[in-house]
Structure 1
Amino acid sequence: MSARPADSGATWTVTLVKAGRTKIRYPAEPVADDGTRISVRAPWAAPDVRDFGFVRFEPGDVLTEHYWRDRWYAVKEVRGASGELKGWYCDITRPAVLRGTGLVVEDLDLDLWVSADGASVLRLDEDEFEASGLAGRDPVAAEAAVRALDGLEHLARTEGLAGLVT
């Protein structure tokens, strides 16, 4: 990706909003911003291990997160403390908004997990998406979210996600 490098030593704040409320806020190191894609690096933001069954997120993990101003998803490359690639966690979101050093992303409940070897591609939280009522409140956003999930899943199964974030 051709992008201007971020300021060395700078810290941004990533805010993930869900249903109008802040779900989580954490510091991240800006890596690059090409005007369309914003990339940051951050440690796993929770103090505890989160075992999803298909992957464990734990203190020491490092996420390189890629957000787009014109796409309805974020792709997070997940690496363990020793640097091994665990896989990619993809959040379906509205396009990201950067205001100064604050990156705000609205989570739309749908997620996709892609294992490091690409053998496992899992659609997640479709029940939460359905229960959110987004389709009734904002059918255009709901349709964009489903299209984004379908597109990412297709890409993961046919080409892999590494090319999307390198």
Structure 2
Amino acid sequence: MTALTVALVKGGRTKIRYPATVIADDGDRITVRAPWAAEGTRDFGFVRFEPGDVFTEHFWRDRWYALKEVRSGDGMLKGWYCDVTRPAVVRGDELVVEDLDLDLWVSADGSAVLRLDEDEFEASGLAARDPQAAAQARRALDTLELLARGTGFDRLLA
């Protein structure tokens, strides 16, 4: 397995960088595993990300989203955190992902599917700066929600 650094960029600035291990790369989708990378616990109200959590993250080089399976340190599935992003780019030993603010949370049992940060997306000004990218981002969020409410992500990740 290969190590790399995931760089999450938002608004032209690197928001966070963290080490990850590549578990698969078929040239289109790259899958990495990484521990919760932020300091301390982050409580969103619907889920808590905390030290010990493990993220299995799926990034595509041709799709406008990333799927992150979130498990507690003891292996219990918490759910899926989905980021709307520009297609991922690998540069040497770094995976660069541009976050476009829109997110989706899907609980482990599928009972909760929450669209997140639509206000941040509107406030970002992306629609004015790059209307095509904004349209792609909205389509990506709609696609993720349809998958989550339908067959789930299994077919997508097969």
2:146 alignment partner, one of 154, 159, 163? 154
Mapping of residues 89-104 of structure 1, within 5 Å: 89-104=81-96
Gaps of 5+ in 1: 1-7
| 1:69 aligned onto 2:51 | no
- Alignment partner, residue 25 of structure 2: 33
1:24 alignment partner, one of 16, 19, 32? 16
Q: Percent identical across equivalent pairs?
A: 74
Cα drift, residue 165 of structure 1: 2.7
Cα drift, residue 162 of structure 1: 3.2
1:78-111 Cα distance to aligned partner (Å, 9 max, x none): 0000001000000000000011211000000000
2:78 alignment partner, one of 86, 92, 101? 86
Aligned partner letter, 1:69: R
1:11-37 Cα distance to aligned partner (Å, 9 max, x none): 200000000000000000011100100
Secondary structure of the residue aligned to 1:45 is coil
TM-score relative to the length of structure 2: 0.98
2:3 alignment partner, one of 8, 11, 16? 11
- What is the distance in 2 between the residues matched to 1:118 and 1:27? 29
TM-score relative to the length of structure 1: 0.93
Mapping of residues 133-148 of structure 1, within 5 Å: 133-148=125-140
Secondary structure of the residue aligned to 1:74 is strand
Number of residues of Structure 1 aligned to a counterpart in Structure 2: 158
Runs of 4+ off more than 3 Å: none
Aligned partner letter, 1:40: V
- What is the distance in 1 between the residues matched to 2:47 and 2:154? 18
- Alignment partner, residue 132 of structure 1: 124
RMSD: 0.8
Secondary structure of the residue aligned to 2:14 is strand
